[in-house]
Amino acid sequence: MGDHDILVRAERLRVRPNPADQSLTVNLTGVDQTGAAVETRVPVEKSLTLFLNGQEIVTAMTIGDYPEDLAVGYFLNQGMLRPDDTITGIDYDDELSVVVVRTARKTNYEEKLRKKTQTSGCAQGTAFGDLMDVIEGIRLPQCELRTSWLYRLTQTINTIPSLYLEAGAIHGAILCWQDEPMLYMEDVGRHNAVDKIAGYMYRHGIPAGDKIFYTTGRLTSEMIIKTVRMGIPILVSRSGFTGWGVELARQAGLTLVGRVRGKRFVALSGSERIVFDQSPDFVPEESMRHRRKAAGDDA
């Protein structure tokens, strides 16, 4: 696949990073290893308080884009918003850094909020309630993952202009169909990027059963639970696994593919969905720019 083909495919993204947005980063000065003065660009962190109807639920640290999608996705992935709920309004106040999601169904999660579990996600992710309820009894769709799709996706995603490539210290989440990336969100916490995707899918009626989910972050229990709750059968990452994450993926029948770098990958769950239709001998290695960035920011 040539550079022109990669560019065309990237242009077809419904949502993609905007590294030119000056509100998402700040330029800071410091010194390098020689003591010389340097200026570097880093992502911002802003607090955003999420309300469900009249109840304050959580304050998240985020770069600040797509706040409505983040709020809706967060409530969906915490099980506070049901897939069949009717959202009657979403109010975002930039000055107060508040999003209020209103539903036709009355909600009260005081008891559930007392039963929270801190997760391993950066930026202090939390998961509420009994985590195993999400995994037990789930039946994910039986779609396929072709290795030719995986290789083309990796090449495309690695070359899309992003805050990750420009400033680092940030995670990406990408919703894909076959070998086409559809939605690409970034945030300081990988769970925030995932929640933005979930919220966008919900608000725009995008089905999950035939999709592939790609993340730059670790394949932890939180990532598996969120992906399963979203109904996506395939989760891919350039990073590695945790033991409990793999165990949950196997219980849920989720295809879990990690350490995706150039022509290399490892699948630890759901390998029956993988169709090996392309030899890795003809796949180029990952670009040096992306490998250097990953070595400094992979988490």
Per-position pLDDT tens, the chain of length 299: 555 565 556 667 999 999 999 999 999 999 999 999 999 999 999 999 999 999 999 999 999 999 999 999 999 999 999 999 999 999 999 999 999 999 999 999 877 777 665 554 554 455 554 566 778 878 899 999 999 999 999 999 999 999 998 888 899 999 999 999 999 999 999 999 999 999 999 999 999 999 999 999 999 999 999 999 999 999 999 999 999 999 999 999 999 999 999 899 999 999 999 999 999 998 888 865 555 555 555 54
- Asked, for residue 39, whether it belongs to a domain, the answer is no
Structural domain that includes position 87: 46-130
Q: Give the pLDDT score at 96.
A: 97
| 118 and 216, same domain (yes or no) | no
**Residue 298 and residue 164: Cα distance in Å, rounded?**
10
Cβ-contact 273, 233 below 8 angstroms:
yes
Q: What is the pLDDT of residue 134?
A: 78
Which residues on neighbouring strands pair with residue 146, listed in sequence order?
Answer: 275
If one counts the domains in the chain, the total is 2
| 50: nearest Cα among 6, 16, 93, 111 | 93
CB 262 within 8 A of CB 154: yes
262/159 same-domain check = yes
Q: What is the pLDDT of residue 100?
A: 98
Q: What is the pLDDT of residue 123?
A: 45
Examine the domain organization and report whether 180 and 260 are in the same domain. Answer: yes
| Domain co-membership, 143 together with 278 | yes
161 and 264 housed in the same domain = yes
Yes or no: say if 117 and 97 are a contact pair by the CB < 8 Å rule: no
**Cα-Cα-Cα-Cα dihedral sign, residues 80, 83, 84, 90:** positive
Domain shared by 165 and 183, yes or no: yes
Q: Residue 86: which CATH number?
A: 3.10.20.10
